[in-house]
Chain A
């Protein structure tokens, strides 16, 4: 999987590529519009993560250029602006998703995965992890081939975990993933705990393994190790 990260802030760009590299993505970075255009013209990428505000141009222009090439590349906009207009324009001209800075790395990772999955498997985009399998189109989850019933939040949580397996997910990242950034409920961590408890129970009941580890004072980790 090849990903192009267009972000002028090198530190942020470094963090993102470091996080993504662990997912076995080949992550290339560009810090300017010029450089990004060059890369787009030369290579094919599975997904492009683009900042709207670049020192020498607009990320929106890059998306337009990409779309002119009839490229199938998935596009995620990351912007500090959180401007509704940018979001609407971005999605209208063909971006697949929009994230506002500062975002959580697992969130970006999950969104990239979701886009790549949708694009590369052409319909059949089953997520399989040991004894678990998920059909994202139908929002179905199976444990050892048997379907289990999850609430919407439990399902979202499981997909988020699977996108970031073997990673520590902070409670903040989970809360924001489940309830969005308007969520300002100080005790939302309790609900995360409840959701995780229920999710774990439902998987174990059907004979699945217990994959969720609690990381003290921090969050959770989905792992089979």
Chain B
């Protein structure tokens, strides 16, 4: 839910509840007031009737005076003074139906030693109508006020939060491995400026740490090259010595193999950090079909040796704008991957089509999650000697050139689909 929707809805909700409660209170209050007033009128009329009887010693027809139902009955004996005012239902002649009336009843009223009962009925119809009218007009005023407020609030909030959305947008676009810093725009709202400052500080710190780490990785890999070169060269000299027995040769051989692996690993890591550092700037149109053909030719003997057959289906010439060295590494890694993880007498199928190219190879089912394939140092356990950087490098290059790699396994084929827009 959007911030604006949420605040508007809360605003409407709270206003609605407050409105209902205050309307009820208001209605009751109005009712009380009107009833009170009616009762006062009834009492006044009663007083007037008593005075009139007292004065004239007769019971005139009060209906003519007051225009509504008044009933005065003479009682035989003086009664105890009693009386009340309450609501009652009565047949209304004017209305032709039962309706609410306010009814004053007074008994006793000994006037000149005679007892009377006085009943005065006043219809509530008019008061209720009045109350209804007042309430309705108030509701109308209130609702329009509420709507106005909600709208005003909506527009004000929207205006006020504009910097916030700008910050969000900038944050969304911010990429830590890009040299461009987080865009900070000054606003005239104190809190957003605070937020901006905090974000700026944080992003600078993160970027600094990230750069530091990256630099460290790169330097570490770089600095390892020389000692590795020395070890390698010394071992190569050692191997040339005469009179080495088989056991010594085996030991040197193992050390040599490990050094070779380490140096491959190091080169891979260096390459990755170079890609991350955007050190491959120069690009040109690369003919993917030509590159794949060249790579397959390069590995021709190995492919032949393992009895692997290759089928090519070039439906469409694929040209990608890439750095030539990276393009070569990309394709070489993909192709050598398809050879390495193939089975003897297996098959490699290369397809070039509009929007994508596919390299598929037969092979055993993966023992790891396909998504893990593209992470560094992840390898399936049937190839302990491989360094495990090939596909991580492929992924890095793909990310650099916005290529999308999808892995699929079906019909015994590992399929890598490289799509581009």
- Residues of chain A from 155 to 190 with CB closer than 8 A to chain B in the complex: 167-168, 170, 172-173, 179, 181-188, 190
Contact B239 A168 (CB under 8 A): yes
Contact B239 A170 (CB under 8 A): yes
| Cβ contact of A181, chosen from B264, B323, B340, B390, cutoff 8 A | B264
- Residues of chain A from 15 to 57 with CB closer than 8 A to chain B in the complex: 15-16, 18-19, 22
A101 to B328, CA, bound (A): 20
| Cβ contact of B301, chosen from A151, A172, A173, cutoff 8 A | A151
A104 contacts across to B, CB distance below 8 A? 232, 236
Contact A172 B229 (CB under 8 A): no
Contact B301 A194 (CB under 8 A): yes
- Measured CB to CB, the nearest residue on chain B to A186 is B385
B340 contacts across to A, CB distance below 8 A? 184-187
Determine if A84 is an interface residue (Cβ-Cβ < 8 Å): yes
A46 to B234, CA, bound (A): 25
Closest Cβ of chain A to B174, distance in Å, is 29
Determine if A129 is an interface residue (Cβ-Cβ < 8 Å): no
Closest Cβ of chain A to B5, distance in Å, is 53
Among listed B7-15, B252-260, B351-359, B396-404, interface-contacting one: B252-260
- Measured CB to CB, the nearest residue on chain B to A175 is B260
Contact B253 A218 (CB under 8 A): yes
Binary per-residue interface labels of chain B (217-241) against chain A in the complex, 1 for a CB within 8 Å, 0 otherwise: 0000010011011111110110110
A183 to B301, CA, bound (A): 14
A107 to B387, CA, bound (A): 22
Determine if B82 is an interface residue (Cβ-Cβ < 8 Å): no
B267 contacts across to A, CB distance below 8 A? 82, 100, 181
B231 contacts across to A, CB distance below 8 A? 102
- Residues of chain A from 168 to 225 with CB closer than 8 A to chain B in the complex: 168, 170, 172-173, 179, 181-188, 190-191, 194-195, 215-219
A19 to B235, CA, bound (A): 11
Given known contacts A153-B301, A186-B386, A168 and B336 CB-to-CB distance under 8 angstroms: no
Closest Cβ of chain B to A161, distance in Å, is 15
Determine if A11 is an interface residue (Cβ-Cβ < 8 Å): yes
A11 contacts across to B, CB distance below 8 A? 230, 233-234
| Cβ contact of B229, chosen from A102, A191, A217, cutoff 8 A | A102
A22 to B236, CA, bound (A): 13
A11 to B233, CA, bound (A): 9
A-B contact pairs, 13 of them (CB 8 A): A12-B229, A12-B230, A18-B237, A102-B225, A102-B231, A172-B256, A182-B336, A184-B340, A185-B339, A185-B340, A187-B340, A188-B302, A217-B246
The 8 closest A-B pairs by CB, nearest first: A15-B233, A102-B229, A186-B385, A172-B260, A217-B253, A80-B225, A217-B250, A218-B253
Chain B positions within 8 Å of A, measured between CB atoms, are 222, 225-226, 228-234, 236-237, 239-240, 246, 249-250, 252-254, 256-257, 260, 263-264, 267, 270-271, 274, 279-280, 282, 298-299, 301-302, 305, 323, 325, 328-329, 332-333, 336, 339-340, 383-387, 389-390
Chain A positions within 8 Å of B, measured between CB atoms, are 9, 11-12, 15-16, 18-19, 22, 80-84, 100-106, 151, 153, 167-168, 170, 172-173, 179, 181-188, 190-191, 194-195, 215-219
